[in-house]
Structure formats: structure tokens, C-alpha cells
Structure 1
Amino acid sequence: MEVNDAPKIGPVIQKERKERHLTLDRLAAISGVSRSMLSQIERGEANPTFAVLWSLTQALGIDFSQLIAGGITHQRKAEAIELVTLALTPEIKSPDGAWRLRILSSPALAGRIEWYEVEIAPGCKLQSAPHAPGTFEHLTANTDGLSVETELGRQALKTGETARYRADVSHEIANSGSETARALMVVLYDQDN
């Protein structure tokens, strides 16, 4: 796999679906992902969001890391330090190139705590629908030009500053600068919900 290649998840989804004797329609009903999106994913014609991938792994009963690793899990001796190479670090990109999220957290933590490396192109924004109730995001700016806006307010950030805000309401991160903006985002989900 080349450094910039994304993991080939379509064949893994298709293989796991067929091993369970599920039709596209049945997997769509179980996962909540549309049949047309499933078909596009299996053919490698769609760039699914983390939420879509999470829904599919839960519906198929597979570990997220199996999906990223190509469906093959190897038994190996426990290592003192686990290394995830750049090629195996999953990314979510906007179709228009406005933003990119590199998923840095372990798949085992999804839905509890997640962290991302965020890049937003000049003059662009990353808009998000409300997450689960009680969810908070912590955004630490690595460059100038970023601002966070929710329905509850707006805050500009300078390099090194951290904004902490409710993410269970509509929110967006914007880059008003002339260079690509970078940040570290940590998402904390409320464990009581």
C-alpha cells in the first residue's frame, strides 16, 4: 500500500456481508446505511464517513481495526509499543478537499473518546451536525486562523489555544487564514447516555 492510499474497505465489507449470507438490502436495514451507499462502498466508489463505517462494523459484528487492516487479523505477541504507520492511519476527507481528519485514536475507543488531527484549507470550514447528547469537543489550534462556532457562541483561536465546547449542537470549525490550518481535536462522549 502506498503512503497516500486509503485502506481497501469495500472488498472487506463485501466479503463479511457474503459470509453472513446478507443481501445488500438486509445489511442496509441492519446498519441504517442506504443500499446505494453500500453498493458504492463495496465497489470502492464512495468515501464513507467514520459514522457510516462504524455502523457497518457494528452491523457485521467485526472490529473496526479488522476493517482498516483489510479483514485479516494476525495473532502476534504483545508489544511494548504499538505502532500505527501513516499508511494505516485512517482519514476522512471532504469530497471538495476543504478539510481532512486523520483518526489518531484506537478503534476500541470509538464512541467514548476519539482524537483527530484536523486540517482545514484556507477560507473553508468543517461543519458538523449534533453528536450524541453530552458530547464535548476540545480543539487545540496548532496554527492561527481557526474559529469555532456553535449555536451558543463563537470563539477565535490563536496558536496553542484550546476551545472546549458542546458538540451535541450544530457546530463548525472555520479557517479564516490564508494557509492550511491545523489542530488537534479530542471528542469526549457522555458515558451516561
Structure 2
Amino acid sequence: MASTASRRGPRAPSSPPTMSPTSALAAPPRVGEQIQRLRTERNMTLDDLSRSAGVSKSMLSEIERDKANPTIAVAWRLTNALGVSLDQLFAAQKAPETISVAGPHDIPTLDGHDAKYQLRVWGPIELAGKFEWYELTLQAGGALVSNAHEPGTREHLTVLQGTVEVEANGIAKRLKTADTARYVADVPHAIRNAGKGDAKALLVVIHG
């Protein structure tokens, strides 16, 4: 006669087995974020990278927003255009620092010498194309003239120093120090120094 234990079969373990860290699947790299970061670091627009890599702008936009995964062939063209290797593109990213400090020399600066303006890019790279903020300095007679951005984009301009004129879709308003203008930016628009000295302003762009 078989024993009671043998009829019941083997005992279940008291707790489920634990998986070793190496047995769990690692999260896939955020390729879209990597591409957007590399593009922004090189001051390339979506159009620039699209032309250089031979990838349609709409596809590139989908990839950067992690709405589509690039094939190896597409990833290879993008990395060539960005001047990096595939290994760098797919490398795991370090966890972000709790507090990240950027010194004055770490802030990208865009100079429009002929138009007499300077833009200091205060916003982080990962928000480029979504939410951006800048310190805008306009010399006397200077102007920042822009074509229409994507539909739904708005700008918010606060004057920190001097007198500034904002124009959007043919309508102009003059602002003095501490005034704030909020306006549509999916139409042609411009920011001009309306005074005799330098003007400075905080410019926030919220993309549609």
C-alpha cells in the first residue's frame, strides 16, 4: 500500500521562486528620445535630419515620440546622419540625477547677428519641440521674426528690460518692462525692440 505522502504527490514550495536580476527582461531603450536628444544637441531641425537621413519627416516625428520603432535600416541611416554608431543609439541610458545643475557655459546660445538678437536656451533638451523657454536679448533695432509654428502653438513673452513690440498675424502690441503678452504662434509673428537700448525678455513656447 502506498504511503499517504506518495499519493499526495510532491509538496508545493512554500513561496514562489524568485527570479535572478539577470533573468528578468530589461526595458527596451527609448530610441525616440535618444534620436531627439542627439538631433537637438546638434541644432538640427526635423527637416534637417529628415533630409540628411532620407527618412520622411512624418516618420521621424513618429519615431521621436516613440509612436513607431525604426527598422535597423532606418536606424542606421539616422545614426549616420547624426554621426553616431548604432551601439550609441541603443545604449542603455543612465538614471537621471536627482538634481542636475547646468552652469552658464552649458546653456546653448543662438545668435542672430544680422537681426541683432540672442536666444539663450534655458529649457532642457528632452522638452524641445514640446515646451521651451528662452532668454531673449534684442539690441536696439533688433528683431526675432518667425514663420508659423505647428498648429496650436502659443508663445508667452514677459519683458524683463526695455520696450518690446510683439506682432502676430498682422496685429501689433507694445509692451514695457514687466508686461506679458500671450499670443498665437501658428501664424507669422515677430518680436522687436521698440526702444533705444537693449531689451530683454523671457520667451516661453508651448507647441501644439
TM-score, normalisation: structure 1: 0.60
The reply on whether 1:30 has 2:55 as its aligned counterpart is: yes
SS in 2 for 1:30: coil
Question: What amino acid does structure 1 have at the position aligned with 2:200?
Answer: R
Q: 8 Å contact 2:136–2:202 — kept in the other structure?
A: yes
The reply on whether 1:110 has 2:150 as its aligned counterpart is: no
Identify unmatched segments of 5+ residues in structure 1: 1-8, 14-23, 33-58
Aligned partners of 1:98, 1:188: CA distance in 2, in Å?
24
Aligned partners of 1:110, 1:78: CA distance in 2, in Å?
17
Aligned partners of 2:101, 2:145: CA distance in 1, in Å?
31
Identify unmatched segments of 5+ residues in structure 2: 1-37, 43-48, 58-76
Aligned partners of 2:94, 2:172: CA distance in 1, in Å?
48
Question: What amino acid does structure 1 have at the position aligned with 2:54?
Answer: A
1:138 pairs, out of 148, 156, 162, with 156
1:2-21 pair list within 5 angstroms: none
Structure 1 or 2, whichever has the larger Rg, is 2
Higher relative contact order (CA 8 A, sep 6+): 1
1:88-107 pair list within 5 angstroms: 88-96=106-114, 98-107=116-125
Task: Indicate the percent of aligned positions where both proteins have the same amino acid.
Answer: 38
Give the CA RMSD over aligned residues.
3.4
Give CA deviations for 1:99-126 in whole Å, capped at 9, x if unaligned: 0111110111111100000011101211
Structure 1 residue 95, shift from structure 2 partner: 3.5
Aligned partners of 1:147, 1:138: CA distance in 2, in Å?
13
TM-score, normalisation: structure 2: 0.56
Aligned partners of 2:148, 2:196: CA distance in 1, in Å?
28
1:31-110 pair list within 5 angstroms: 60=78, 78-96=96-114, 98-110=116-128
The reply on whether 1:161 has 2:186 as its aligned counterpart is: no
Aligned partners of 1:30, 1:88: CA distance in 2, in Å?
31
